[in-house]
Chains A and B, each alone.
Chain A
């Protein structure tokens, strides 16, 4: 990926990804080819500051977890009324880290999917060559 695009990526999404993973993400981005660049750019990154508001106002019924795509935990939180307020409070403090880690998970999912597709492609090519 070009240096300009990497800078743009971190300008837009840097605060949405965990800071201790920035070096790893940068090294993946630097080695990315065109297809991987598109699929990384197409990942939906949630905004942590939005999630703080959602967690404060609607976290007691599990909507913050639901929005992030962890609907199992969302339902559990809804049934227990935010873990009787304790879970709600813990999530409220942690929500920035939770959102960043979720974004990182989606990022790695896109990266691993791309690796898998390339491995399959290579295996097909090798089989064609062997014939």
Chain B
């Protein structure tokens, strides 16, 4: 794919992705062919805003983790009452990064499928 198309994709979704994986994303997006571009734009990341709000208001029940697709951690939070409440405070700290990390992994899987 040419660089302007990669830039368009990153402008749309870059804020929801992990910065550390950005170089890898650019590399793997370059290998995707141009005619797959419309399919690629259909990909939807999980919103950091929603994940953060869920963590702030229902974090002790693991709502943020269920939303970003980390069911195992979500259940863990649910049954230990948010890791004895302190865990959910830690979650608030890490949730933006966790969402971005999960989105990055999901995107890499999606690109591999497109190839």
Contacts and interface: CB of A to CB of B under 8 A. Distances in A.
Interface residues of A, number: 30
B8 A44 contact: no
Interface string B20-46: 001001100000000000000000000
Contact of A37 (B4, B89, B92): B4
Contacts of A23: none
A34 B93 contact: no
B100 to A, nearest CB: 7
A58 B19 CA distance: 24
Interface in A68-116: none
- For chain B, the bracket of interface size reads 20 to 34
B15 A54 contact: no
Contacts of B22: 42
A67 B56 contact: no
B85 interface: no
**A interface, over-half SS:** helix
Given A8-B8, A12-B12, A37 B96 contact: no
B63 interface: no
Given A54-B92, A67-B96, A42 B3 contact: no
Contacts of A66: 93
B14 A43 contact: yes
B19 to A, nearest CB: 5
Most B C-beta atoms less than 10 A away, residue of A5, A8, A42, A57: A42
B83 to A, nearest CB: 15
Interface in B33-89: 48-49, 52-53, 56, 89
12 contacts: A1-B7, A13-B11, A41-B11, A43-B19, A44-B17, A45-B15, A46-B15, A46-B96, A50-B52, A53-B53, A54-B52, A61-B89
